[in-house]
Structure 1
Amino acid sequence: MQWSGVLGVVAVTIIFHALTLEERVDSNESVAHKFPGNSMDLRDIKSPRLTGFALQLSTQVLRIPVLNALVLKFMKSSNGLIQVREFASTLEDEPMYHPIHISTLQEKEKHELLAQDFDINTLRFEPIGNHLKFKHWTIQDYTDKYKSGEITPLQVAKAVLAAIADSDSKKIPLRAFTQVHEDEILHEAELSTARYASGKTMGPLDGVPVAVKDGLDVTGYAVSYGTAFIAALNGPATKDALPVARLRGAGALIVGMTNMHECGLGTTGINPSH
C-alpha cells in the first residue's frame, strides 16, 4: 500500500473518532455536581506505545495541521484530560497549566534577602583542588575563578570536551551527549575569555558550561528528541529555543545536546538509537 493510501486510512479513522468526541470545559456551576467534595475517581487508561514504523508514520501524520488538531482532541478525551480540566475548574485556585509565575515586588525583595544570607559554599560536596577538576562547581565558582584569572572559559571548554571524548571512548560508551560542535564551543569560549580579560562580561553565566537536552532547538543542531529519524526530518535548527536563547544571551557556553529516552517516553534513559 502506498503512503497516500496509508495516510488516507489513518486520516479517516482519526476523523471518525474525533467527530464523535466533545471537548468542552463547562463552568464551575455546571460541572460541580460531577465532583462532589472536590474529588474525582481515578481510572486506568491505555495510551498508545509507538515505536519503529508506527512512530514514523505518526510523526508524518502529526505534521498535517488538521490531523494534528484532531489527534490532540482524541488523545485528550481518551486519556481523561478533559475530565481533569473540568475537575480543575471546580477548585478554588484553578491551575494555570503553564509554568509561569509573575513574582510580586514583596516576593522579589524576600528572595533578595534570602540570597544575601545564602552561603554558596554549602553546595560544595568536596574541596576544589586541581583547576580542571570542576566536579560540583557552582556558577559562582566559575565566575570567581574567571574574574581572578585563575582559569579561563577556554580552559574549561577544552576540559569539558576532553571529558566527553573520554566518556565515549570506554568499552561501553556513556553517550551522554548526542551532538557536540567542538569548533563552535571553542570559539565561544575564546570570546568569553576575551570578555573577562577586558572586564566586560555578560553577567554571572558568562563562560559557564551548559548542556541542552536533545528536545530543545539549538542553532546549528538537529534536534532528534532521542530518535534516529526526527533529526533528519527537521534538519539543523535556524534559531534557539527561548530558554537556550536566554542562556546564550547571558553568555553561557552551550557545550552540546544530551541524550534522552526516545521522545521522552520512558524513565530508564536506555536509548538504542544513540
Structure 2
Amino acid sequence: MTNAYVDNHMEGPQVWKGFSQGNNVNLVVANIYAPPDGLLGAGIFRGVYSEPDYYTYDASSGTKLIVGKVKTKSALPSAKTHQPSDSEVINYKAFDDLPLLDPTQVEERQTNAMELMVNGKKIHKQNINQNMKLKYLHEDLSRYNNVILERTSPGVYAIQVLCHEDDLCCNLIYEYPAEEPEDIVYMLIAYSGIVEHGEGLYLQYVQVCGAVLCLNETIDSCGHFEDAYVPDSAFRAYSLSGTFGDRYIYPSVFTDALQLFSAEKWNYTLNESPDHYHAIIHLHEEVNDLSTLNLYGRWFSRDPNH
C-alpha cells in the first residue's frame, strides 16, 4: 500500500500495525519520506501471526528499502479468522489475589522537566523538531472523556472504567511500580463520534479507548512530546478493553522511544455479542516508557459522507 500519512494523534507505525493486527492480515506500507511535512515511516507489518514487524521510523534515516519474510494464512493449517480461543480471553479472576487501589493512598504529583528517548538516546523534547526535523499534527482531545490514572502502592493494581457516547465503555487494569517517577501522568481516554482530518475535508466516525502519557494533568498535554521532557516510566498496564459498535478495531502499543512494543509480548482478541463488539489488548510483559495503549475503532456506516 502506498501512503502519504501525516503523523497526528497516532504515529504511522501505530496506524499500520493496528490495521494489520486488527484485520488479521499482513500489510506492506510504502509511505512518502518527507519528515518536515510530517510524512515518515514505512514497513512490513505481520499481523497474521503476530510476529515482529520490519519497519523504519527515523527522520534521519533517509529513504530505505525494507525486505522481510511473511507467513500467509495458508502457511499453517490451523490458521483462522480473527476470533479468540478460550485461552486467549482474559481471565479477570487472575487478579483476585491482588489488592485493589485504596484511594487514600493516592499521592499528589508535581510536573517537572521531561525528556524523550529517540533511537535509544534522550533528547530535549523542546528540540524534537530540530533533532528529528519532524512535523506533528495534534488532534483536539478536549472532546474526549478522560480520567487521570491515580497512583497505586507497590504491588497494588487498579481497575479504571470510562465511558462515552454510543455505549462505548473502556476498562483498564494497571499499576504503578515502586520505581515510577512522581511526575509521570497517564490518562484513560474515551471517545465516540466524528473526527476531522485534512483540515475538515474528511469526516470520520471513530470510537477510541486509550491509555496515554501526558505532560501534566490537562488533556491537551497528552501526546505533546515536543513541548518538554518525559522521564523514564515503568507504568504497568495489564489489559485495555472496550465495547464497540462495529468490528473494525485497530489495536496498538507504542513507546515514547517512538517504537512499537513487540507483538510477541501482547495479544489482541475480539468477541462478538448481540449488541456490541468487545475488544481486548492483553499485555504479557511490562512496557517500559509507554506512550500509547490504544484501541481505535472505525464505524464506517456512520461516516457523514457514507
TM over 0.5: no
Larger strand proportion, structure 1 or 2? Answer: 2
Per the normalisation by structure 1, the TM-score is 0.25
Q: Which has the larger radius of gyration?
A: 1
Larger helix proportion, structure 1 or 2? Answer: 1
Higher relative contact order (CA 8 A, sep 6+): 2
Per the normalisation by structure 2, the TM-score is 0.24
